[in-house]
A and B are shown apart, each in its own frame.
Chain A
């Protein structure tokens, strides 16, 4: 019973390139959350999605960042024209349908390094 799967584990991009981070939630989970973590800091909420819907994107930067969770396939966090400040660990978490403030299940994260 696989957990939350994120890939790639490490991603290196040069400034100006695009970064695509993938997240496959746990089987049976239809809610996906993306968080960003800078070194020695806590996790900052970015976006909450359900299948084909963005529910809360209050933590997403207004430009260059987008997220989707299509009917089929993984959730994608896309960062266009990356800058050095985008370097961070990006974590995805999932929860089952009808979530009533229960725990989240986290993936191992994608470490993005922008050169």
Chain B
């Protein structure tokens, strides 16, 4: 079964609003990462948060991690049309040298 489960599966908001996506996972992790995928393209790394960190910022992105609840959230503030994409969380599992991806959230920013 998938290590990462994302919620919601799809999200549509107006430009300028904030977008929040959530990710839950099952096993102990080394870190959790968020990636963006534009339609028909490869994934681009956005941000990485380690298991001993609780919050991290990068530009308009804010990521939180709650290891007790095995969950993370990605907040995109002041959304733009160019933020329209699918967003995936990926976990680096302890003892395994690979990333396990969630199902993704399809984000649509309406102008």
A interface with B by C-beta (< 8 Å): 4, 33, 35, 41-45, 48, 55-56, 91, 93, 99, 101-109, 111
Contact = CB atoms under 8 A, between A and B. Distances in A.
Interface of B: 2, 4, 30-31, 33, 35, 40-45, 48, 88, 92, 96-104
Please classify the interface of chain B as helix (H, G, I), strand (E, B), loop, or mixed, using the class held by over half of its residues.
Answer: strand
A36 to B, nearest CB: 11
A105 B46 CA distance: 11
B100 to A, nearest CB: 6
B43 A106 contact: yes
Interface of A is mostly: strand
B45 A41 contact: no
A56 B99 CA distance: 12
A4 B43 CA distance: 11
18 contacts: A35-B101, A41-B103, A41-B104, A42-B102, A43-B88, A43-B101, A45-B99, A45-B100, A48-B98, A56-B98, A101-B31, A103-B45, A104-B43, A106-B42, A106-B43, A108-B41, A109-B41, A111-B40
